[in-house]
A and B are shown apart, each in its own frame.
Chain A
Amino acid sequence: MNHVSIWMTALAGLMAAIVGGTLPVRSRVGAAVLLTWVSCSAALVAVVSVLHSGHAIAMSTTKILPFTGISLELTPLGAVFVLAIVVVALASTLYWLGYASHGLSTRCASSALPLFVTSMILVPFAASVATFLVLWELMALASLVLVLTDQSRREAARSAAQWYAVMTHAGAAAILLALILLSAHAGGQTFAQIEAHSHHLSGALRGTIFVLALLGFASKAGAVPLHVWLPKAHAEAPGPASALMSGAMVNLGIYGIILVGNVLLGGGPVWWWLLVSALGVLSALYGALYAATTSDLKRLLAYSTADNMGLVLIALGTAGMFAASGSHVTAAIAMVAALLLMFNHSLFKGALFLAAGAVQIATGTRDLDRLGGLLRRMPVTGVVFLIGALSVAALPPLNGFVGEWLLLQSLLHALPSANTAVVITVAVAVAALALTGGLTVAAFVKAMGIGFLGRPRSEEASKAHEVPATMQLGAGLLAISCLALGLVPMLILPALMRGARSARPVGPVAAVHGWISLHLFGFHGVLAPSLLAGGLVVALAATVLARRVSHRRSSPWPALTPAEPWGSGRRTQTARMQYTATSFAEPLQRVFDDVIRPARDLDVSPAAESHYYVERIAYQTSSDDVIERVIYQPLIAAVRRWGGLARKLQNGSVHRYLAFGLLALVIVLVVLA
């Protein structure tokens, strides 16, 4: 049965890709989606059976040559990641049905999307180095094709794909190196062999392997400073693809770090995890800051992904650090917090990207400064975005809050028994967490408030209409699960605890327990999200009732009468007088001027009669990514210079190339001799 489900996952996914690439345009997307659902359901069967029993299921084909044997195994840890991917994939493919007519029904896209989904689902199944790398690469290539979908219409898509291709392959190279080193020294390429032998390796080698793997996987997770591709590629990818990339693919970066750090190497010294936490702190702060100041809706979401992955990395790093310093209970809580933060992020970021895709379909733009008034025109999409925004801002009673609370509790309870390095890290982590939280709230009030509320700021926004029902449903499903997991986190926590234990089998079996109120194991910490939500509902009812009673007019509670808003005495006000995303973020941008260093250009042209009268003011501000500007641009320039030098070697003459070949052969012979 279990083997069947694994086979079904792979085969149905492959069939979906083939069908999407061959059938005529009318039936192509429907058939591909149907087969993808079959693949997802089969994966779900495997996930449920693994998480229910707590035992891994495995399958491998016979080996003819060393690298042809496919070896697949689903551990509880992998099952958690597959679950997150499947949920996002089901919602996104449903959404795709409505989105397809907007440039996502070509053969290429209809084939790449199912392939992307299936390869992502299968990555956590991989149980050998070769299988893992093949699936990893397949996932990267399929998503690269999806980023390029709009390239004929948008120049930016091409550049984004280029960035993505380079970054993902640089990352893959680091991962390849790490895994090859690992399998070479552990004497085998299946994960089971590596796991059994990895503790014999020297500390330096283990450290090198971990750092290499961390670099590769962190770039996939969008950790700063390896994040530069993320705001480009996630913003340019079409709706469902961007939801899959941001909601599901980045998780696999986290999976990779846990796989190498916790499972294959079996945990490590404090400095590994210090590095992970440092990356997390940097990503969280940087991502939140840019999310708060950018005015492109999808870029904002992408930066927020870097921010959220930063939080996951902080949780992961502190979990490793607590484990290395012997406090196993807080380590278990932090590990569960990391998985919960990751899972929550999949749900709300999936919903947000799907809603942003709907906005792009309805208005043709993602520029917040040209949006507005969409909640009235697109009520369902607007509410989905609102739920996602409140969730990402970690507000109760939504799921984002529970994850953040767990992380705060693990930090709080770790402190009294920690050593100096841990104390410093925890203090920095808390400060970063707190600042990130504030910035995220500002970022999402801006995204929701400027994008969906007020008056439309452009012609396109005022003509927007609600998107097809399948798109609403796909995004809505994710929003509803945000609410459900916010009210009853225990719906998912047992599965996450199983997963956390398979990554690190020390500490309590159940780090948190209790259905209505969440209790920590071994510490005094209680959170009752459903009671809090119930209290809010009761309080709302009481407030409405009190308002109704206190109103003594003839009609008990008159409806709101529309009227012109106050414009300092002006009769009419236009939509242009509203705050825009740029002006909303201006105070924050000014506060963090030294970090962002935006380029500003103020041009005042006075009237001809007197320079006291201003005729025209032009103000330009752009805040491009400072890390891209300071680190990557010089790097690219240097590479280009070297490329220019290398070009001199080539003149098209076959004789010269033959001479190079001979020279190389001589050098090789000399070196070998």
Chain B
Amino acid sequence: MNGFAHLLTSALVALVQLALVAVGGPLLLGVMRKVRSRLEGRVGAPIYQPLLDLRKLFTKQRMRPRESSWLFGAGPLALVTTVVCVSAISPLATARPPLGQSADFFAIIFALLLGSVVLALSALDTGTAFGGMGSSRSMTIGALAEPALLVAILAMAIPARTSNLPALVRSGLIHPSLIASPSRILALASFLVVILAESGRLPVDNPSTHLELTMIHEAMVLEYSGPDLGLIVLGESMRLVFLLGLLVNLLVPWGVADRPGALSFVIGVAALAAKVLVTGVAIAIFEVFTAKMRLFRLPELLAGGFVLALLGAVTAVVAR
């Protein structure tokens, strides 16, 4: 009976985290657009507009380019599937998520990468110039962002002596000095650069562009419409919330539920929402004052991120 109860709680925790990411994603998108509009002197759409958009998209017809294969339909599914899977087992609202033992930081990141890769493949499957353009650019950025990300993870994992995500978050709770250490701060700065690049935000990519030649992510998904586009929008926003959730939990873990019990979990949920909201608003404000970088200037930004992470890893070893 006890085992069954445990299983039930675990499933519930996973579902709540999942729901948080799935609803929070589009809402965060709405908030960021609202902040942006207000700062630009417009009223802007209500913050729940992305949810309405999604509802509309899901009622539409499904289309595919004439010469595409089954992989075209697999792209959006892979994108959502991977982020759904990782957000159930990662330390977002609680530092002891179900199956947390298996939530290795590297594994989580590579699982997300699987989603990006299948999406990039399905963009090439459209057989158009734009699909290839988006895919090529996003893979170029990915190839340069991945080194920064891996080294950043390593820089955080060396002082904590594990790359297990829940353990990393808990290490911050137990030893606050770990968070204030230069290695963790440098690594998180690099992580932030990577998040901006991977989720297609300014200054890497302009999510609201309508100019085909400057698009990166939008060019990749240009052929999608209706429910498949809905899945992509949903998946991308979930991924943003998930990555920001990880970032804030590694930076300011306080509030995350570390003890069993409903109350601490509720506090954890509220804390996560607040922390992610603040970060999202900060990014939105930053985006108002930033222009998109030229594609061929991006390697400099990402190399900067890589150097930050490497410095973090080196200080982690030196300060052992």
Partner-B contacts on A (CB < 8 A):
292, 372-373, 375-376, 382, 386, 390, 393-396, 401, 405, 408-409, 411-413, 415-416, 418, 423, 427, 430-431, 433-435, 437-439, 441-442, 445-446, 448-450, 453-455, 517, 523-529, 531-532, 535-536, 538-540, 542-544, 547, 550-553, 558-568, 573, 575, 577-580, 583-588, 590-591
Contact = CB atoms under 8 A, between A and B. Distances in A.
Contacts of B117: 390, 393, 395, 441, 445
A373 B67 contact: yes
Interface string B276-320: 000000000000000000011001000000100010011011001
B261 to A, nearest CB: 25
Contacts of B82: 536, 539
Contact of B77 (A372, A413, A453, A540): A540
B127 A373 contact: yes
Given A517-B101, A565-B223, A396 B72 contact: no
B99 A586 contact: no
Contacts of A526: 101-102, 104, 164
A536 to B, nearest CB: 5
A401 B59 CA distance: 38
A482 B94 CA distance: 35
Contacts of A442: 139-140, 142-143
Contact of A539 (B84, B122, B151, B314): B84
B212 A568 contact: yes
B65 A565 contact: yes
Contacts of A409: 163
A556 to B, nearest CB: 11
27 contacts: A373-B67, A375-B69, A375-B71, A376-B69, A382-B69, A393-B117, A396-B111, A396-B114, A405-B104, A412-B157, A412-B158, A413-B161, A415-B317, A430-B154, A431-B147, A431-B310, A434-B146, A438-B143, A438-B144, A445-B117, A523-B161, A532-B107, A543-B77, A543-B80, A550-B58, A587-B296, A588-B139
A560 B58 contact: no
A394 B64 CA distance: 29
B124 interface: yes
A454 B139 CA distance: 17
Given A442-B143, A445-B124, A449-B120, A538 B227 contact: no
A175 B152 CA distance: 41
Interface string B129-161: 111110111011011111111110010011001
B259 interface: no
Interface of A is mostly: helix
B9 interface: no
Given A535-B99, A540-B77, A584 B104 contact: no
A433 B64 contact: no
A534 B85 CA distance: 9
Nearest to B223: A565
B102 A427 contact: no
A595 to B, nearest CB: 13
B231 interface: yes
Contacts of B73: 560
Nearest to A375: B69
A528 B101 contact: yes
Contact of A437 (B88, B128, B147, B306): B147
Q: Which of A395, A454, A531, A577 has the most CB of B within 10 A?
A: A454
B251 interface: no
A630 to B, nearest CB: 24
B192 interface: no
Nearest to B124: A449
Contacts, number: 273
B61 interface: yes
B62 interface: yes
A497 to B, nearest CB: 20
What's the interface size class on B, roughly?
35 or more
Nearest to B135: A449
B229 interface: no
Given A442-B140, A536-B81, A578-B127, A562 B64 contact: yes
Contacts of A566: 128, 130, 222-223
B85 A536 contact: yes
Given A438-B145, A531-B102, A540 B81 contact: yes
Nearest to B123: A449
A584 B140 CA distance: 9
A453 B124 contact: yes
Contacts of B65: 562-565
A543 B81 contact: yes
Contact of A415 (B58, B67, B137, B158): B158
B68 to A, nearest CB: 8
Nearest to B104: A527
Contacts of A390: 114, 117
B125 interface: yes
Nearest to A416: B320
Nearest to B235: A543
A588 B140 contact: yes
B254 interface: no
B121 interface: yes
A453 B71 contact: yes
Contact of B161 (A416, A517, A584): A416
B47 interface: no
A532 B109 CA distance: 12
A527 to B, nearest CB: 5
B39 interface: no
B127 A427 contact: no
Contact of B62 (A418, A529, A560): A560
A561 B85 contact: no
A342 B226 CA distance: 44
B106 interface: yes
Nearest to B141: A587
Contacts of B121: 386, 445, 448-449, 453
Please name the 7 residue pairs, one residue from A and one from B, whose CB atoms are nearest each other, closest first.
Answer: A579-B132, A449-B124, A528-B102, A438-B143, A438-B146, A434-B147, A454-B127
Given A416-B158, A544-B77, A535 B88 contact: yes
A558 B136 contact: no
Contacts of B188: none
